[in-house]
Structures are given as structure tokens and as C-alpha cells.
């Protein structure tokens, strides 16, 4: 008679191809199909962003911020220029502030759409993936017409923006928002939100308690999905968000489904913000007065926080009095959230691990910075 022995096994989950969630390897220890440990192994995509920034002038670094979270390039650019403007006392024209809010919220919508599409594909639903990419493509068309780029833009400038709206751009945005709100979002909810299979796969799965989320430094939809009412756009104000009527979205359950609902409801709030910004946007300049050579005072340093699509994007810069930063550190929300996979996954099945990993919305470009 063959002897049997119960034992744990360690398997590799990944590394996946960059076109999925990035080049990530999970070292998973299993007891049968139950997750005992889940250790992320990163470093496959390291691009030396922080070191390269030390060799570039402050305006030149903007192009590199695009390539961190490459699905939220507009918001990354804003995070970087915001700190330099505050450090040097550079005044941004009112019209430029309105446009910044508009493109940042359109970028948030595009990021949440690609997350929704890839997350649904993770759970085996192919149709929402196609629908989400359809709407995302319209936003990319809008960004291409305003910046010339579809994924990486180099659109923000210290003191403002590279250029103003092209003719007819405002009308195209309003038309898209109407379609997204009245037709596309109801389709998503009909296909996915109330689907019984989705509910079973996500409700009560991968619960993140609010105290654990805070202890790990979680932010964005991951934090708000655990019921913590915190959003930098409101709580550490920047730009002109204080001028608009909108709500911070939270869900109390803290599970995979709650993080899904937060993002989908945030799309609705972004639509509200963009409409208000378009309606109230004044005439005027889109770029303020900025010195030709930027040299922050020697030994000055600053840290600025920004509400990106995935959470708090932090930029820490130290100046040595030259046109190049002495040190640049990029706080990545995806890097922080990746550490939460194990505490959320222990005790669940390996199939649930796929849903849990998908629910935190990581981009390895900013994890392996």
C-alpha cells in the first residue's frame, strides 16, 4: 500500500507577461488549495527612474514620471510639477488649474476603466473587458488631440500646461461623458455588478480591515474600500477641487467587491467634476511666468502628496542648488498595496488569490521604479 503524507507545497504564480498586471512573481505556499503564504517577488521591471532623475533637469524629469504608473501619466505629471511650484512660489494661471483638474479626472476614469476590464478578465468575464477598452479608447483619442500622445503625454509644465484645448475638444468631452454615464456604466453594472458568479467570487473575499489598511499606509480606492473616509483632493487640498461639488466614495465591507464598487462609483464622481470644470473654466493663459533655468535653493527639500488613480503618489525631492535634483524619491501606492496581498490572501483558495491581487490594481512600472 502506498504511503500518503500531508504536506505544504510552494509554487510560483508568475512571473506574468507585462501586458497583464506587470512582471510579478508570487511565491505561494499552499495547503491543498488553501493559501498559507503569498510573497511578492518584484524587480523584473526595474528601470532606475529615481537614479535617472538625478541626471536630468527638473522639466526633463516630467517625461520620466509618465513611465512610472503609465496608466495614470497625467496625474503623475501633476504630482511632480506641484511640488516644484510650491517650492519656488510659481503661480499657476486659473485656466491652467481648471484644465489640470479636467485631464486628471479623465485620466482617473481611463485608469479605472482598464482596471475594470482586466479585473473582469481575471474572473473569466471577457465581454466587460472589451466594453471597458472601447470607452477607454475614446479618452485616449481626446488625450491624443490635446497632447499628441495616447499613453505618455509630457503635457504638464512647471507653471501650467504645454498648450490649451484644441477647437471642439470641450464639446467632444461633454459628449463622451453623456455616453459614459447614460449608456456605458449601466451596461457594466448589468453585465458584471449584479452577476451572481461575480458576487460569490468577490463578496466577503480578501477582507482588509481599516486598522490594517491604515497600518500598512494604504490609500486611494483600497483604503476607501475599507471604509476609511480619506481623499487627498479634499483633505490635503491642491488644484481647484475645493471649487466643485463632489463626494469621497467609501464602502465599509473591505472585501474585493467593495474595492470594485469604490472605483466604479468614483467614475461617476469624476464625471461630475469634469462637467463642472468645463462649465466654470475661465479664459486666460495656460502657462504662467517661469524662470528659464530652475534652481531651487541649496539644501531645500520638499514632499508633496497627490491623489492618483491608485492612491497617494508622493514626490520627495532634495536640491543641491543645481538645475538637477540631488535626490528624487517616488512614493508608489501600488508598491504599498502589494504588501497587503499576503494578509488578505491567507486562508483563501488560490483561485481567490487571483481576485484579491486584481482588486488592489497594481502597476509594476511604479513598483519597480
Residue 108, φ and ψ in degrees, nearest 5: -65, -40
Long-range contacts made by residues 296-305, C-beta under 8 angstroms, separation at least 24? 296/58, 296/84, 296/87, 296/88, 296/321, 297/321, 300/87, 302/83, 302/86, 302/87, 303/83, 304/79, 304/82, 304/83, 304/86, 305/79, 305/232, 305/236, 305/331
- pTM value is 0.94
Q: Which of 294, 296, 256, 236 is nearest to 79 (CA)?
A: 236
Cell of 327: 535626490
Higher local confidence (pLDDT), 201 or 2: 201
Residue 194, φ and ψ in degrees, nearest 5: -90, 10
User: 268-303: per-residue pLDDT in tens?
Assistant: 999 999 999 999 999 999 999 998 889 988 989 989
User: Cα separation of 127 and 120, whole Å?
Assistant: 8
State the Cα angle at 32 between 28 and 33, rounded to 5°: 65
Q: Which of 288, 290, 369 is nearest to 58 (CA)?
A: 290
- How would you list the strands of the sheet with 9-13, edge to edge? 9-13, 25-31, 34-41
User: Cα separation of 197 and 186, whole Å?
Assistant: 18
Cell of 53: 532623475
* pLDDT over 70, % of the chain: 96
Total residue count of the chain as it appears in this document: 369
Confidence bin at 18 (pLDDT 50/70/90): low
Q: Where are the beta strands (DSSP E) in 143-220?
A: 156-157, 160-161
Confidence bin at 265 (pLDDT 50/70/90): very high
Q: What is the pLDDT of residue 1?
A: 44
User: 221-261: per-residue pLDDT in tens?
Assistant: 999 999 999 999 999 999 999 999 999 999 999 999 999 99
Q: Which of 28, 12, 62, 34 is nearest to 315 (CA)?
A: 62
Please enumerate in sequence order all residues whose Cβ is within 8 A of that of 168, keeping only pairs 6 or more positions apart, or say none: none
Q: What is the pLDDT of residue 13?
A: 86
Q: What is the pLDDT of residue 42?
A: 87
**Does 342 have pLDDT greater than 90?**
yes
Q: Which one-letter DSSP state was computed for residue 21? A: T
Say how far residue 95 (Cα) sits from the centre of its chain.
Answer: 25
Q: Which CATH architecture has domain 60-362?
A: Orthogonal Bundle (1.10)
Q: Which of 121, 82, 14, 29 is nearest to 241 (CA)?
A: 82
Q: What is the DSSP string of 271-289?
A: HHHHHHHHHHPPPS-SB--
**Does 99 have pLDDT greater than 70?**
yes
Confidence bin at 136 (pLDDT 50/70/90): very high
Please enumerate in sequence order all residues whose Cβ is within 8 A of that of 344, keeping only pairs 6 or more positions apart, or say none: 206, 207, 208, 356
User: Cα separation of 307 and 154, whole Å?
Assistant: 19
Cα torsion 105, 106, 111, 116: sign: positive
Cα torsion 185, 97, 145, 74: sign: negative
**Does 21 have pLDDT greater than 80?**
no
Section 344-359 average pLDDT: 93
User: 177-200: per-residue pLDDT in tens?
Assistant: 999 999 999 999 999 998 999 999
DSSP β-bridge partners for residue 25: 41
**Does 334 have pLDDT greater than 80?**
yes
User: Cα separation of 117 and 311, whole Å?
Assistant: 19
Q: What is the pLDDT of residue 87?
A: 83
Q: What is the DSSP string of 45-94?
A: T---HHHHHTTS-HHHHHHHHTTTSTTSHHHHHHHHHHHHHHHHTPPPPH
**Does 119 have pLDDT greater than 80?**
yes
**Domain boundaries, given as residue ranges, for the chain:** 60-362
User: Cα separation of 97 and 101, whole Å?
Assistant: 6
User: Cα separation of 247 and 298, whole Å?
Assistant: 40
Amino acid at each position: 500500500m502506498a504511503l500518503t503524507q500531508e504536506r505544504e507545497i510552494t509554487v510560483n504564480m508568475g512571473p506574468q507577461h507585462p501586458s497583464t498586471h506587470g512582471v510579478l512573481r508570487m511565491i505561494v505556499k499552499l495547503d491543498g488549495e488553501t493559501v498559507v503564504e503569498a510573497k511578492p517577488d518584484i524587480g523584473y521591471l526595474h528601470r532606475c527612474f529615481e537614479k535617472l532623475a538625478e541626471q536630468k533637469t527638473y522639466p526633463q524629469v516630467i517625461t520620466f514620471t509618465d513611465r512610472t504608473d503609465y496608466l495614470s501619466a497625467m496625474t503623475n505629471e501633476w504630482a511632480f510639477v506641484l511640488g516644484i511650484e510650491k517650492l519656488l512660489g510659481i503661480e499657476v494661471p486659473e485656466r491652467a488649474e481648471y484644465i489640470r483638474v479636467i485631464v486628471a479626472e479623465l485620466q482617473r476614469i481611463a485608469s479605472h476603466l482598464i482596471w475594470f476590464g482586466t479585473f473582469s478578465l481575471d474572473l473569466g468575464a471577457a465581454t466587460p473587458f472589451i466594453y471597458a477598452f472601447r470607452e477607454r479608447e475614446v479618452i485616449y483619442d481626446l488625450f491624443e488631440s490635446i497632447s499628441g500622445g495616447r499613453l505618455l503625454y509630457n503635457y504638464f509644465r512647471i507653471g501650467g500646461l504645454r498648450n490649451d484645448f484644441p477647437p471642439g475638444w470641450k464639446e467632444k468631452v461633454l459628449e463622451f461623458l453623456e455616453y459614459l454615464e447614460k449608456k456605458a456604466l449601466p451596461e457594466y453594472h448589468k453585465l458584471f455588478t449584479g452577476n451572481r458568479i461575480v458576487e460569490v467570487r468577490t463578496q466577503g473575499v480578501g477582507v482588509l480591515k481599516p486598522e490594517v489598511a491604515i497600518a500598512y499606509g494604504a490609500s486611494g480606492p483600497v483604503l476607501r474600500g475599507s471604509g476609511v473616509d480619506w481623499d487627498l483632493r479634499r483633505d490635503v487640498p491642491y488644484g481647484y477641487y475645493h471649487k466643485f461639488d463632489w463626494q469621497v466614495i467609501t464602502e465599509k465591507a473591505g472585501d474585493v467587491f467593495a474595492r470594485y464598487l469604490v472605483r466604479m462609483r468614483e467614475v461617476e464622481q469624476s464625471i461630475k467634476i469634469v462637467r463642472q470644470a468645463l462649465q466654470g473654466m475661465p479664459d486666460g493663459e495656460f502657462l504662467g511666468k517661469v524662470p528659464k533655468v530652475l534652481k531651487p535653493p541649496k539644501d531645500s527639500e520638499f514632499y508633496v502628496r497627490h491623489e492618483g488613480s491608485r492612491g497617494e503618489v508622493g514626490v520627495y525631492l532634495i536640491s543641491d542648488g543645481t538645475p538637477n535634483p540631488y535626490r528624487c524619491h517616488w512614493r508608489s501606492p501600488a508598491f504599498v498595496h502589494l504588501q497587503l496581498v499576503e494578509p488578505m490572501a491567507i486562508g483563501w483558495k488560490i483561485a481567490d488569490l487571483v481576485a484579491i491581487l486584481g482588486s488592489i490594481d497594481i502597476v509594476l512600472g511604479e513598483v519597480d521604479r
